[in-house]
Amino acid sequence: MKIKIFQNDEQLYNEIKNHIISEIRELPSFNLGLATGSTPEKLYLKLIEAYTSKEFDPSSIKTFNLDEYIGLEESHEASYHYYMQTKLFQHIPFKGSHVPKSTGNPEENVKEYNKLLEENPIDLQILGIGSNGHIAFNEPNTSFLETVHIATLTEKTIIDNSRFFNSIEEVPKTAITMGLKNIMNAKKIILIATGLNKADAIFKTVKGEVTEKVPASILQQHPNVTIYLDSEAASKL
Ligand code: GLP
């Protein structure tokens, strides 16, 4: 694992943007794994700026999101479809963009997304991390061998994510998510964490034992992970 720590957000997100663009330029076509949450928002602004100034060509890039709440319409403001559409996809014309389906038959959606990922191996996966060490919606005690599945959210995650909803009761209890196995299949991974509330999860991810109790700890076994942190998220290392 490579760890990079930055004193300010501007430098942090600029470096991540440059890292992503240099990876994109190495391949004639590119499968980019994307994340949601507040952490990648500034990265998406940087990517939009970079696209506007022609730093990369999106026409050979396909994107694949990690997860989506079950039961929210795609037009719901807290859905990850809506998030991706408004924060990135309406600004950058990628070759194709995929977010797991949140409505309809969940089992069919799981199968379909697994198949899509098998056919389109991810070149670079962007990840955030939950304060309990979850990645995508793989909560503590999820098997490292899981592929795309329907996950039940923990109370901690529901509380953390309730800030995007009008009330905590509105937060869905389940989600469709890439499994840890799908994530580990990505050729390269970038994990981003900022803020003091991520310091404990980052310490366990980087220095703790590899255990299903801390889903992100599996990243210690991946051959190419770069972790980008601000000084608060890095404060326990
Ligand atoms: C959600 C998402 C994760 C994300 C996490 C942290 O639970 N499913 O992919 O990493 O939140 O979000 P934030 O960046 O808002 O702290």
pLDDT in tens, the chain (237 residues): 999 999 999 999 999 999 999 999 999 999 999 999 999 999 999 999 999 999 999 999 999 999 999 989 999 999 999 999 999 999 999 999 999 998 899 999 999 999 999 999 999 999 999 999 999 999 999 999 999 999 999 999 999 999 999 999 999 999 999 999 999 999 999 999 999 999 999 999 999 999 999 999 999 999 999 999 999 999 999
Task: Give the range of the structural domain holding residue 60, as residue numbers without chain letter.
Answer: 2-123+145-189
CATH of the domain at 36: 3.40.50.1360
pLDDT (0 to 100) of residue 103 = 87
Quote the ligand 1 centre to 28 CA distance (angstroms).
Answer: 30
User: Which residues have C-beta within 8 Å of that of residue 121, sequence separation ≥ 6?
Assistant: 31, 185, 186, 187
Nearest to 96 by CA among 28, 8, 30: 30
Domain assignment present for residue 227? The answer is no
Q: How far apart are CA 89 and CA 91, in angstroms?
A: 5
pLDDT (0 to 100) of residue 235 = 98
Based on the residue annotation, tell me whether 134 is a catalytic residue of this protein.
yes
The pTM for the full model equals 0.97
Across the strands, what pairs with 34? 65
In this structure, the residue with its CA closest to atom 3 of ligand 1 is 136
pLDDT (0 to 100) of residue 102 = 86
| Residue environment code for 151-178, b if the CB has 16+ CB neighbours within 10 A, otherwise e | bebbeebeebbeebbeeeeebbeebbbb
Domain assignment present for residue 236? The answer is no
Domain assignment present for residue 139? The answer is no
List, chain by chain if needed, residues with CB within 6 Å of any ligand 1 atom.
35-39, 66-67, 128-130, 136-137, 157, 161
Domain assignment present for residue 228? The answer is no
The domain total for the chain is 1
Handedness of CA 198, 201, 206, 208 (dihedral sign): positive
Q: Which residue has the tokens 């909560």?
A: 139
pLDDT (0 to 100) of residue 13 = 98
Quote the ligand 1 centre to 218 CA distance (angstroms).
Answer: 17
Domain assignment present for residue 77? The answer is yes
Domain assignment present for residue 87? The answer is yes
pLDDT (0 to 100) of residue 132 = 95
Domain assignment present for residue 183? The answer is yes
Handedness of CA 233, 149, 224, 207 (dihedral sign): positive
Domain assignment present for residue 116? The answer is yes
Quote the ligand 1 centre to 228 CA distance (angstroms).
Answer: 15
